[in-house]
Amino acid sequence: MTLEAFQQSDALTLGVELELQLVNTNHYNLTPYAPDMLALLKNAQVPGSIVPEVTTSMIEISTGICRDAQDALQQLTTTRDALVKAADRLNIALAGGGTHPFQQWHQQRIYDKPRFKEITALYGYLTKQFTIFGQHVHVGCPSADDALLMLHRLSRYIPHFIALSASSPFVQGQDTAFDSARLNSVFAFPLSGRAPFALHWEDFERYFDKMTATGVIHSMKDFYWDIRPKPEFGTVEVRVFDTPLSIERAAALAAYVQALGSWFLSESPFEPQEDDYLVYTYNRFQACRFGLEGTYVDPATSEQFGLREHILLTMQKIQSHVPEGSREALQQLRKTVNDGMNDARRLRDAYGEAQQLPEVVRQSTLRFRGTE
């Protein structure tokens, strides 16, 4: 199979995908209601799509093409409200968060769909351990080469994305001491990590052809990279975000990617280098482990920053590239960085108060439906 051609898309348009948790309203554990939810939502009028995910306690929503944060939030609100209505009918609830705090992976069930069965056949128990919840942000690129340039430039900011969205401190009932433990599950997959360093589409095509010739992959979907090109949409897809607890934060994170992209396209502030990736895994670990309190090694200068400090510096740099409809969202995001308040901290604070993880999940469901 050859790599499909990179489609045209309007530069800097956005698309947001959210993987969501379906939870019972009694014990707030994950509950396998995806088939019933999808049946109820079959004719729902929503801007994007609502589709199943790998296990039956998950559901994925996506927006259509968005101009800015405001547009994304409007679309997400419409879909969220439809989901909440259906969930209310079934007496379940939806929650954000990168992991469910106390679900047991072995209790999950694979959704009855050929692709998910194939993945299970290949990866064994890893598939059920993949009951984790991420946000993907697509950003439109004018051309295939621009997309690769965008991809490798955005790679420097992967720690930002992780720390800002981190919402998975608890796994299997334990505090992991990570702000984003979700990405540790992704690392178990052999085709995870970073994309190969190729700045021209022909080089990337050659790499793809070699990989398909080995029989290891069949399509772009088989790569679980942190950022990957999405030729059929004409976008680059950032995949490291934990699903935030609220759709407002999801829209703000998308706006941050968009503003970075706009900065790259209009100012070409730096040329990506293969050596950027020398500190990539270390920076990534720092963001996962310590969130906004992690350290950040600048790949170009090797200078060390506090991650929070580096995010605030970057926000300063891109301020003039933020479109009108995203200003408020990014202002809110900056405020949470100043306060050191990502969703992981919010979840830990909730646990500190309640001392019971089911109550933490209940509060997350209220936050997702916008009533907290």
Partner 1 sequence: MAPNSLPILPSPHIGSWLDAHAGPLMSWCVLVAAAAIAGHLVFRLSGFPRMLGYTVVGLLAGWLGFGDLPWPLQGNTQVLLQTAVGTSLLMAASQISLSWLLRQPWLLLQSLAESVAALVLVTGVLQLLGMGWAVSLGVGVVAMAASPAVLLRVVADLRASGAVTDRSLLLATLSGVYALVLGLVITVAWSPAAAVGVGAEDALASLVLTAAGLGQLLLSLGLTVLWAVLTTVALWPVLRWQSSRSDSTALYMLAALVAVSLLATRWGGSAALGFLVAGLLLRNMSPKPLVWPSAFMAANTMLSLLMFVLVASMAGQVVPSVGLVSVIAAAALARLVGKMGGVLLLGLGTGLGWQRQWPVACAQSPSSGLALVLASALAMQWAVVNTGVAGALTAIALPMVVLCEVLGVLLASLALWRCGEAHRGIGLSALNAKEKRHDA
- Residue 66 forms beta bridges with which residues? 14
> DSSP characters for 313-350?
HHHHHHGGG--GGGHHHHHHHHHHHHHT--HHHHHHHH
Residue from 124, 190, 269, 340 touching partner 1 (CB under 8 A): that is 124
DSSP reduced 3-state for 229: strand
Verify binding: residue 212, partner 1, rule CB under 8 A.
no
Tell me 86's DSSP state: H
Dist CA 235 CA 137 (whole Å):
9
Min dist CB 70 to partner 1, Å, is 32
Q: Is residue 127 close enough to count as binding partner 1 by CB under 8 A?
A: yes
Binding-site member from 39, 188, 300, 341 for partner 1 (CB under 8 A)? 39
44 touches partner 1 (CB under 8 A)? no
C-beta of 7 vs 104, nearer to partner 1: 104
**Around Cβ 67, how many Cβ atoms within 10 Å?**
16
- Cβ neighbour number for residue 211 with a 10 Å cutoff: 17
DSSP 255: H
Q: Is 55 in the site for partner 1 (CB under 8 A)?
A: no
Taking the complex as a whole, how short is the minimal distance between the CB of residue 76 and partner 1, in angstroms?
Answer: 24
The nearer residue to partner 1, 120 or 326, going by C-beta atoms, is 120
Q: Which of residues 4-33 bind partner 1 (CB under 8 A)?
A: 24-28, 31-33
Which one of residues 5, 89, 174, 219 is an interface residue with partner 1 (CB under 8 A)? 89
Residue 103 in contact with partner 1, rule: CB under 8 A: no
Question: Helix-strand-coil percent breakdown of the chain, rounded to 5?
Answer: 50, 15, 35
Nearer to partner 1 among residue 125 and residue 270 (C-beta): 125
Backbone angles phi, psi at 43, to 5 degrees: -110, 20
Torsion angle defined by CA atoms of residues 263, 266, 273 and 192, in that order, rounded to the nearest 10 degrees:
60
Judged by CB under 8 A, which of 80, 100, 128, 136 binds partner 1? 128
Least distance between partner 1 and beta carbon 175 (Å): 15
E strand spans, the chain:
14-24, 49-52, 58-62, 92-95, 134-140, 170-171, 174-175, 192-193, 224-225, 227-230, 235-242, 295-297, 304-306
3-state DSSP assignment of residue 190: coil
From residue 343, alpha-carbon distances to 97, 165, 169, 170 in Å are 8, 7, 9, 12
Nearest Cα to 161, choosing from 266, 233, 254?
Answer: 254
User: In Å, what is the CA distance from 75 to each residue of 159, 242, 322?
Assistant: 27, 19, 19
Q: Decide: is 359 part of the binding site for partner 1 (CB under 8 A).
A: yes
Q: Which is nearer to partner 1, 94 or 250 (CB)?
A: 94
**Judged by CB under 8 A, which of 51, 82, 90, 199 binds partner 1?**
90
Choose, by CB under 8 A, the member of 7, 107, 219, 268 that binds partner 1: 107
Does position 355 interact with partner 1 (CB under 8 A)? The reply is: yes
Among 362, 364, 367, 369, binds partner 1 (CB under 8 A): 362
Considering beta carbons, is residue 36 or 175 the nearer one to partner 1? 36
Nearer to partner 1, 22 or 330 (CB): 22
For partner 1, the closer of residues 42 and 214 by Cβ is: 42
Q: Residues interacting with partner 1, by CB under 8 A? A: 24-28, 31-33, 36, 39-40, 56, 88-91, 106-107, 109-110, 112, 120-121, 124-125, 127-128, 354-356, 358-359, 362
